[in-house]
Structure 1
Amino acid sequence: MSFKGPCPVVTLALLALLWLSAVPASASAAADSAPNIVFILADDLGWNDVSWHNDQVVSPNMQQLVDTGVQLEQSYVQPLCTPSRSAFLTGLYPFRLGRQGRPLGSQTPTGLSLNHTLLPERLSRLGYSTHMIGKWHLGFCNWAYTPTERGFDTQYGFMLGYENHFKHTRQNGYDFRDQREPDFTASGTYSTHLFGDRAVRIIEEHQGSDQPFFLYLALQNVHKPLEVPDEYLAHYPEDLDEDRRLLLGMVTALDEAVGGCAALKDTGRYDNTVIVFSSDNGGSNRPLRGNKGSMWEGGTRAAGFVHSPLLQETPRVHSGLLHITDWYNTLLALAGESFLPDNDGFNQWDSLVDPSVESPRTTFIYNLDAEQEEITLGAIRLRNHKFVMGEENLVQENEIGPWLFNLEDDPNEAVNLLEFEPELATALELMLLEEIPNVVPRDEPANDPAGDPSNWDGVWTPGWCGVP
């Protein structure tokens, strides 16, 4: 049941001032020449699945990048994969796109709205070559939804949300492409090896070129099915839980692919390159509360870092608020865009490059969904406080909040402050509910059997739906 209580004008005025003060600023060029950008998005990688949070994890390449870069400790994503990818490539909260619900299914006849200009399209206009490797998961029923129609010069990988890591199959269909064509030569080779090798190839192809590049490396690891070559299991004890051992082996394989970025040094492009790493949602998240699919910290607080010679006073930990929507404007600013779009993101570059500059973000919305009967599902952050409503309680069944937490004192969301700070809770709830008119209904049409691979020679193939 929604909390209703006293709502002093002073409290609301203060919160409104903080909210309005967080308007995205205009961009400024970050370097004399546009830097190369490598954005690595891991799949289902949890807070507890990386070596800088858990010393049992073997990930020396990522650890080296963290130890010489900026570790992101307050970096947030969406609870699920399609929503996070939508937010990254548009700079918009998914609830503005109809993507706030479940991930796109294999036969869902829709995709990421064509009404918005994606990040690679903007970067192409600024003179970048753009490359997408790995998992797309933003729709493929029509070619118009696919990477090479959304701003990427090249695509190498798969369209669906997951598949067999070796066979590259899902149900009764094959899903692996090089550009538009199915690539059957990939069958039998571990996907992370394929993606890492292609990333190295693209970097090497830019040796001697003055053209900057944007490489979006969306790795399949560590998404289920839990599969990895045996060589990576040797890093972990045999008496470890079997699934946990497989997952950690997948992290180590992922780390090897990230290590391929060392090719930047061999090609002379390293000094003017920015590498960003993030998970797309929660995974194994202890001690954080919750996991993938929830608005709790375990579903939304991502392991991440930024590495570049352009950063100052490294290594260091960055504790400023950052949301996945911010990368759109941040990377555009880095690329030299002089006018940033009006979206939900902030240009974070100055706060990332210079430790004396605070994050411009003071607030964000974790998610918002108003289609459940009698319940609004949503969560909002304001500085250290987080308000949650409509989310499933992991401790007590059938309790849906609301909750109020101070994450600085209570990062694991154990103590509900609702009865101690009712005025703040009411004000945050009102701020969240004021966004309800901006919620686009979920874009979740019924599955269409026309997309079944049996209709397309056993390959998951575009061409079986129209576009709005």
Structure 2
Amino acid sequence: MAVVVVTDDIMAVVVVADDSMAVVMVADVVMVVDVVGEVYVGQAVSEDMLMMMMMMMAPVWVWVALGCIATTMAATSAPNIVFILADDLGWSDVSWHDSGVETPNLQKLIDEGVTLDLNYVQPSCTPTRSALLSGYYPFHLGRQGLPLSEMTPAGLTVNVTLLPEDLAALGYSTHLVGKWHLGFCNEAYLPTRRGFQSFYGQYGGRHHHYNHSYDGGYDFRDGDRVALEANGTYNPVLLTDRAVNIIQQQGGKQSPFFLYLAYQHVHTPLEVPDEYLALYPNESDPDRRKMLAMVTAMDDAVGRVVAAINASTFANNTIIVFSSDNGGERPVGLNLPLRGAKVSLWEGGTRVVGLVHGAMLENTPRRYGGLLHVTDWRSTLLAAAGAAVLPSTDGFNQWEALRTGRGRSPRKSLVYDIEQAGDDISGAIRVGRYKLLVGPQNFTEEEGPWLFDLKKDPYETTNLAAARPGLRKRLERVLRKKAKEMVPQDRPVDDPAGDAENFGGIWSPGWCRREPSSLQISDHLRWLPPVEDVLEDS
């Protein structure tokens, strides 16, 4: 007989052969196990060993059941997932928005895949990474506002499960290559404690691209080990070498992998090999020229990763996602025609370039005009991985719409951010085509509130707040109701105990003077009124 068991969102198909032995499939791993009461204990076995064990277990129905399992496994082979996150890449800093920018490898992914037209993130580094891995708006976790610094005694709250933990439970191997930037003062915050089985890169948010140091401290690790041998090698070369190695090591393995490749490019400091500078002889601004050269250096790195995937046996079963973590940083990053930049809630700070690529995507190339927010990736990628149950977060599962091009985005609204601003709040919300911003905003001397029809005015040029007072008030009521769910920002003042000089010039964990964060997540997740109720008579 066959018994389907679901435990902790993992499906196991158990085919009982007799009173002492069983064949078990958990995710895509087949095991022959001893049965002790109701506890199954065993290990993965090779095909030859499985056949030998099955011959000893004889009954014909077991062979039939095993054949069914094998068929199911082949039909439901989980895809590999490569998520590439750029750092501070502007809207117009790619070839598909400016033909003068050299990004041929990304352009090829665009030409073969799905372009994300309404791809929204948070306005800066830490909040976006928090939302990506958790599926929660940062204001629900206390991670809104400024990014963490190297001496901030805080990190991403440990009472929320992260995407790599979900995928590991589904049988994935999980790897972070690049920038973490979600806290490291306590070991509980480290990536290898949050679901990543391997880590190669930096704990903090900024360092020089050759010496991997910032403010007197070195920041580059291979797992928990300080990787001093990385000193002197250009950061994207190091990260790409490791990413390619991980991909090549997957050859012959049955279990899928998740590779989160988080480049620090094109974040300052502006450092790049001369060969890339030579590609932009007509750029008169020397800093802009360096930044564009860094874009092309990153594009070359992406090309190497894609080439490694294409050379593998699993090229047709690998999803590639590419996105920036926020808009380009002024003055070198260019987000035009969008308004604003990094660290702002204007479209130029939060609407970023993005794409999805993979042989399983239908009707490509195409553009995806559905509203998509960084919180959606956790549920979307878990759905792509075949998870039977998706987490209840702020995100939506967009996989079918992305995969097929049929149907609409399940997301009809989003909260850009909410922060405390003195006795009031600062934030922004989008419901349908309308966006409202309240409180102090960067890159303007105007006083709000601001109301925009993003369908007619995607560049936020015409404030409708005075002309549409009823709509403004309805949107503001929604935003203020959401603000009641806000967890206070978890960013205490920097603690000198974390200074790298206390650890021999190495940015290191183990100096927090408080327990890892256990902030309570709001009970009202995902609540927003129907669009038609907010926009009635609009």
TM-score of the superposed pair, with normalisation by structure 1 = 0.92
SS of residue in 1 equivalent to 2:260: strand
SS of residue in 2 equivalent to 1:115: coil
Question: Do the aligned residues in 2 keep the contact of 1:393 with 1:401 (CA within 8 Å)?
Answer: no
1:37 equivalenced with 2:81 (yes/no): yes
Question: Do the aligned residues in 2 keep the contact of 1:403 with 1:417 (CA within 8 Å)?
Answer: yes
What is the aligned partner in structure 2 of residue 5 from structure 1? none
1:39-438 superposed matches below 5 A? 39-260=83-304, 261-283=306-328, 284-369=334-419, 371-392=420-441, 394-395=443-444, 397=445, 399-438=446-485
SS of residue in 2 equivalent to 1:262: helix
* Aligned-partner Cα distance in 1 for 2:193–2:508: 15
Following superposition, the deviation at residue 335 of structure 1 comes to 1.0
Amino acid at match of 1:415: T
Following superposition, the deviation at residue 239 of structure 1 comes to 4.5
Following superposition, the deviation at residue 427 of structure 1 comes to 0.9
Deviations 1:280-339 (A, max 9, x none): 001021111100000000000010000000101111111110000000000111111111
Amino acid at match of 2:323: S
Question: Do the aligned residues in 2 keep the contact of 1:295 with 1:391 (CA within 8 Å)?
Answer: no
Amino acid at match of 1:419: A
Following superposition, the deviation at residue 393 of structure 1 comes to 6.2
- Structure showing greater radius of gyration is 2
Following superposition, the deviation at residue 374 of structure 1 comes to 3.5
Instruction: Provide structure 2 residue ranges, at least 5 long, that are not aligned to the other structure.
Output: 1-71, 329-333, 517-538
Question: Do the aligned residues in 1 keep the contact of 2:345 with 2:441 (CA within 8 Å)?
Answer: no
Deviations 1:326-365 (A, max 9, x none): 0000011111111111110000001101122111110000
Question: Do the aligned residues in 2 keep the contact of 1:327 with 1:347 (CA within 8 Å)?
Answer: yes
Amino acid at match of 2:510: G
Residues 342 and 136 of structure 1: CA distance in aligned 2, closer, same or farther (over 3 Å): same
* Aligned-partner Cα distance in 2 for 1:285–1:440: 31
Identify the match of residue 497 of structure 2 among 428, 450, 454: 450
SS of residue in 1 equivalent to 2:471: helix
* Aligned-partner Cα distance in 2 for 1:32–1:421: 51
Following superposition, the deviation at residue 44 of structure 1 comes to 0.3
* Aligned-partner Cα distance in 1 for 2:249–2:425: 50
SS of residue in 2 equivalent to 1:86: helix
Following superposition, the deviation at residue 436 of structure 1 comes to 1.8
Following superposition, the deviation at residue 238 of structure 1 comes to 4.7
What is the aligned partner in structure 2 of residue 467 from structure 1? 515
* Aligned-partner Cα distance in 2 for 1:368–1:255: 34
Amino acid at match of 2:308: A
SS of residue in 2 equivalent to 1:293: coil
SS of residue in 1 equivalent to 2:506: coil
* Aligned-partner Cα distance in 2 for 1:342–1:427: 26
Deviations 1:98-121 (A, max 9, x none): 111110011011100001011101
* Aligned-partner Cα distance in 1 for 2:105–2:500: 38
* Aligned-partner Cα distance in 1 for 2:429–2:228: 45
Residues 381 and 239 of structure 1: CA distance in aligned 2, closer, same or farther (over 3 Å): closer
* Aligned-partner Cα distance in 2 for 1:303–1:206: 29
* Aligned-partner Cα distance in 1 for 2:234–2:282: 22
Amino acid at match of 1:46: G
Report sequence identity in percent: 56
SS of residue in 1 equivalent to 2:160: coil
Question: Do the aligned residues in 1 keep the contact of 2:426 with 2:438 (CA within 8 Å)?
Answer: yes
Question: Do the aligned residues in 1 keep the contact of 2:154 with 2:492 (CA within 8 Å)?
Answer: yes
Deviations 1:137-187 (A, max 9, x none): 000001110110000000000011100000000011110000000111111
What is the aligned partner in structure 2 of residue 3 from structure 1? none
Following superposition, the deviation at residue 391 of structure 1 comes to 3.6
* Aligned-partner Cα distance in 2 for 1:383–1:268: 43
Deviations 1:413-436 (A, max 9, x none): 000111222221111111111112
Deviates more, 1:64-73 or 1:386-395: 386-395
SS of residue in 2 equivalent to 1:405: strand
What is the aligned partner in structure 2 of residue 21 from structure 1? none
Residues 106 and 39 of structure 1: CA distance in aligned 2, closer, same or farther (over 3 Å): same
Question: Do the aligned residues in 1 keep the contact of 2:117 with 2:369 (CA within 8 Å)?
Answer: yes
Instruction: Provide structure 1 residue ranges, at least 5 long, that are not aligned to the other structure.
Output: 1-28
Following superposition, the deviation at residue 394 of structure 1 comes to 3.6
Deviations 1:72-99 (A, max 9, x none): 0100000010000000010000000111
Question: Do the aligned residues in 2 keep the contact of 1:208 with 1:267 (CA within 8 Å)?
Answer: no
Question: Do the aligned residues in 2 keep the contact of 1:393 with 1:400 (CA within 8 Å)?
Answer: no
Following superposition, the deviation at residue 400 of structure 1 comes to 3.2
What is the aligned partner in structure 1 of residue 19 from structure 2? none
* Aligned-partner Cα distance in 1 for 2:128–2:260: 14
Following superposition, the deviation at residue 221 of structure 1 comes to 0.2
SS of residue in 2 equivalent to 1:435: helix
SS of residue in 1 equivalent to 2:397: coil
Amino acid at match of 1:306: V
Deviations 1:370-424 (A, max 9, x none): x2114311111112111111142645x2x33111111111111000111222221
Q: Runs of at least 4 residues of structure 1 off by over 2 A?
A: 391-395
* Aligned-partner Cα distance in 2 for 1:407–1:362: 13
Report how many aligned residue pairs link the two structures: 437
Amino acid at match of 1:354: T
Question: Do the aligned residues in 2 keep the contact of 1:362 with 1:382 (CA within 8 Å)?
Answer: yes
Deviates more, 1:90-99 or 1:255-264: 255-264
* Aligned-partner Cα distance in 2 for 1:336–1:113: 27
Amino acid at match of 2:341: N
